[in-house]
């Protein structure tokens, strides 16, 4: 399973990239606004900076909701760098745009996916990634991880090549469960990624090794 970081914060991207385990970055308009990035020029420049920092794919989300607007935005994003992937919402015009991008060699990530039916549509339209939002599904009292499992099963049966990018990750356990459920990619904020490191027995064991190493001298 690939690891993407879900942020537009450059320091956080660098922190995980420096560990050598980062495969890509996802952003969305909320994450860009959180970093105070506003206006087309600043947004384009920020995507360029991120895409130059990392080797893997960087998702840049369109804010148009009509076909022509999505295509115009997506073309501009795709021209920034070859590792930019155009993020398109799962709406009717979005499906049309996904197909157009697919037919024209522009890679895409279909976002705001909350059901297996939507994931089938995204795959049929040729999306490279599909992003089910598992945390938000859990918030609504359904089971987000179960959706990942269902989509993975359908894609395997049908031979769809779209990669399942589990999004809206809230905890280290979500990451483990997504790996078990067959996600191809997990995009996470910094905290759940670093949370994977934690185990009290590791801390206790290391403290003992270090203490014993000292006493041997
Ligand atoms: O990648 C989608 C993600 O940013 C949404 O996360 O926590 O706002 O549901 P969240």
Atom of ligand 1 nearest to the CA of 31: 4
d(CA 30, CA 168): 12
The 10s digit of each residue's pLDDT in 52-78 is 999 999 999 999 999 999 999 999 999
Mark the ranges of the chain whose per-residue pLDDT is less than 70. Answer: 217
pTM, to two decimals: 0.96
Supply the pLDDT for residue 217. 65
Number of Cβ within 10 Å of residue 65's Cβ equals: 13
Neighbours of 136 (CB within 10 A): 15
Pocket of ligand 1 (CB under 6 A): 6, 26, 28, 133, 135-136, 167-168, 187
Kindly tell me the sign of the dihedral angle through the C-alpha atoms of 71, 75, 77, 78: positive
């Amino acid at each position: 399973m690939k690891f993407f970081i879900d942020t537009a914060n450059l320091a956080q991207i660098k922190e995980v990239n420096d560990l050598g385990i980062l495969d890509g970055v996802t952003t969305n308009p909320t994450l860009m606004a959180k970093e105070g990035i506003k206006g087309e020029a600043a947004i384009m420049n920020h995507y360029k900076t991120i895409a130059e920092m990392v080797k893997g794919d960087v998702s840049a989300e369109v804010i148009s909701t009509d076909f022509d607007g999505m295509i115009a935005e997506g073309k501009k994003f795709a021209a920034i760098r070859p590792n930019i992937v155009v993020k398109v919402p799962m709406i009717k015009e979005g499906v049309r745009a996904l197909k157009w991008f697919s037919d024209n060699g522009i890679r895409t990530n279909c976002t705001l996916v909350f059901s297996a039916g939507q994931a089938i549509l995204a795959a049929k339209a040729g999306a490279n990634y599909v992003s089910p939002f598992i945390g938000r599904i859990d918030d609504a009292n359904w089971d987000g991880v179960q959706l990942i499992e269902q989509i993975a099963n359908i894609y395997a049966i049908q031979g769809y090549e779209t990669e399942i990018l589990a999004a809206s990750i809230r905890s280290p356990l979500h990451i483990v469960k997504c790996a078990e459920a067959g996600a191809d990619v997990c995009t996470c904020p910094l905290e759940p990624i670093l949370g994977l490191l934690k185990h009290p027995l590791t801390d206790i064991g290391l403290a003992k090794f270090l203490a014993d190493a000292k006493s041997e001298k």
